[in-house]
Amino acid sequence: MKKALIVYSGGLDTTVCIPLMREQGFEEIVTLTVDVGQPEADVRQAADRAREMGCEHHVADVKEEFAAEYCAPAIAANADYFGYPLSTAIARPLIAKKAAEVAHAVGGVDAFVHGCTGKGNDQFRIEFGLRLFAPDIPILAPIREMNLTRTWEIDYAERVGAPIGQSKEKIWSIDENLWGRSIEGGRLEDPNYEPPEEIFQWTASLAAAPGEPETVEVEFRAGVPVRIGSVSGTPLQVIAEANSLAGKHGVGRIDIMEDRLIGLKVRENYECPGAVLLIAAHRALEALVTTHAERAFKAQVDAQWAELAYQGLWWDPFMEDLNAFIGQVQRRVSGTVRMRLFKGGMTVLGRDSDWALYSEAAASFDDTTSLEQSQMTGMVRTHGLESLLYARLVRRG
């Protein structure tokens, strides 16, 4: 009896994979939903749908692991891919890792199945992880391999009686975890289409956001957020509170043109209130405790980290190298940052750390002892000397 393990979200693509795999001779279907912070109702719905379709269903609750080992490193790296905090991207490696673990636990799996299309990034991220942790098990991607469209999938699901939530009128494709929420598909694919308010669930509109600003303090220890406002605890607890606070004020709506791995330029909408808030606070604190050279080099490291994370290359040796440098810097990123949230905007009000590389006396225009201004005369005269010599040669012809 052939057995397939489907990486199962409960959505349209993965739901139609179940009857499609049976048509290809897989009599035994195991489904796995990896809980990385999506709504509990979605996790329950996935379980109900899988069991309704006669599958052996598993759920892996990895929210704590995702927050501590994926989101926290993303904060340390100020993770940003052209304005996107990498919410979906950093969840995929963990999902693939857990799928491999479950496959080994249940035994006898003849194929992994995922619902990624051939136009997206997730096919790269998930298959890299599966090949790393379960290299001997083949991978099937029916949506990609059969060149299926969402309209065809809806018609097929209705024909075979597969339970789905999409319709041809409301065809949004939504992916959600504790680090962010992505919404795409349907008319949102048009870069000139204004997103309707109905697609947003985590962030208040400007009209609905509070009419008064709110100040919130974020505390970090070695680069990890340990407190926001009155809530102290694990990264999972801090991230959840950050999502609530920033979302209430409409912070974290992102609408970008994104360059996918295969070369497509696509329009993407995200809600990442907690990620946007915590990364901004972390970046402000990091600027206080690092040298100029460290800041300049880390900006390059962060950009490389985001590129690898976007590609799903979580266990690439270069990622290990980047994390080594980032981790060294984070030893000093401890302190607090005060942020003001108001009507979709966010402002750093102050930052404080025992590791601050800042001297108020030296920076003050009223101080004459910590840094004597006259000592700068010789340094200023030699500034740009090579450029001045070059300019003389050019004028001389």
Residues annotated catalytic, as ranges: 13, 92, 122, 173
Separation between Cα atoms, residue 118 and residue 127, nearest integer Å: 12
Most distant CA pair in the chain, distance: 86
Residue 91 near residue 60 (C-beta atoms within 8 A): no
Residue 252 near residue 203 (C-beta atoms within 8 A): yes
C-beta atoms surrounding 355 within 10 Å: 14
Residue 286 near residue 313 (C-beta atoms within 8 A): no
CA 255 to chain centre: 14
Helix crossing, 12-23 with 150-160: angle to 10°?
Answer: 60
Separation between Cα atoms, residue 15 and residue 18, nearest integer Å: 6
In order, the DSSP letters of 140-190 are E-HHHHTT--HHHHHHHHHHHT------SS---EEEEETTEEEEESGGGGS
- One-letter identity of residue 330: Q
Separation between Cα atoms, residue 283 and residue 310, nearest integer Å: 20
Separation between Cα atoms, residue 397 and residue 350, nearest integer Å: 52
Edge-to-edge, what's the strand order for the sheet holding 345-352? 231-232, 224-228, 214-221, 335-342, 345-352
Separation between Cα atoms, residue 344 and residue 188, nearest integer Å: 21
Residue 29 near residue 21 (C-beta atoms within 8 A): yes
Residue 79 near residue 309 (C-beta atoms within 8 A): yes
Residue 307 near residue 259 (C-beta atoms within 8 A): no
DSSP 3-state percent helix, strand, coil across the chain (nearest 5): 45, 20, 35
